[in-house]
Amino acid sequence: MGGQYRITGDKYPRMRRPRRRGRLVVLAVASVAVLGVGGWGTLQLIDVFAGGGDSTSATGTKAACVTRPSPVAAPKALPEPGAITVNVLNATTRAGLAQKTADELKKRGFKIGDVANATKEYDKKVKGTGVLLGPASALDTSLRVLGTQLAGAERRTDPARKGGEVDLVIGDAFRQLAKKADADRALTALTAPAPTPTGTKKTC
């Protein structure tokens, strides 16, 4: 071209399309947002199927979770040996067994009532180590405490029986009372708090 529109120099102008920087920026931001939302949703699904996550209130606000020690069962209130009156009855053919047993129970702190042969209902009819007999109210109280002194003894209750005294009916398999150390450990175990499975409790 000549005249007024003459081109000089050794470089020619290049025709380029206008850059669309604005569109590229929008696409980049949108991609980041989609990836972020998708990642958050995936984590939520994993948490739900894994059984985790904090509880959410009706307003959508997550409730704070507090971990507290699990409650320990309170020891059961059981009578002391000194508060239990025991009648020692011999249902065997061995003479003097009731008195010997009563003397040992007295050394261990029990009160002793009657010392005699067993009634007709039990005389020569107890094949085990013994029978512990008392009113219904004594089943999980006095009879449990007395049971620590004679392993294998059977506990029975008489609904018609009144008062707080209990009977130890000596049976054919009886040899002697439990060793004092063993009886003391068994008595301690009765009043010890029951252990919990986990030790902690999470509340939200």
| pLDDT tens figures, 117-159 | 999 999 999 999 999 999 999 999 999 999 999 999 999 999 9
Give the pLDDT confidence score for residue 71 in this predicted structure. 57
Give the pLDDT confidence score for residue 125 in this predicted structure. 97
- 21-36: pLDDT as tens digits: 556 655 665 665 555 5
Give the pLDDT confidence score for residue 106 in this predicted structure. 98
The residue-averaged pLDDT of 10-28 equals 56
10 in a domain, yes or no? no
178 in a domain, yes or no? yes
137 in a domain, yes or no? yes
Q: How many domains does the chain have?
A: 1
Query: Which domain range does residue 170 map to?
Result: 86-191
Scanning the structure block, which residue is given the tokens 């696409």?
27
H-helix or E-strand spanning residue 87: strand 85-90
70 in a domain, yes or no? no
151 in a domain, yes or no? yes
H-helix or E-strand spanning residue 36: helix 21-49
94 in a domain, yes or no? yes
CATH number of the domain encompassing residue 147: 3.30.70
Instruction: Name the phi and psi angles at 143, rounded to 5.
Output: -65, -30
44 in a domain, yes or no? no
Tell me the three state secondary structure of residue 114: strand
180 in a domain, yes or no? yes
Question: CA-CA distance, 44 to 53, in Å (whole number)?
Answer: 8
Question: CA-CA distance, 48 to 56, in Å (whole number)?
Answer: 12
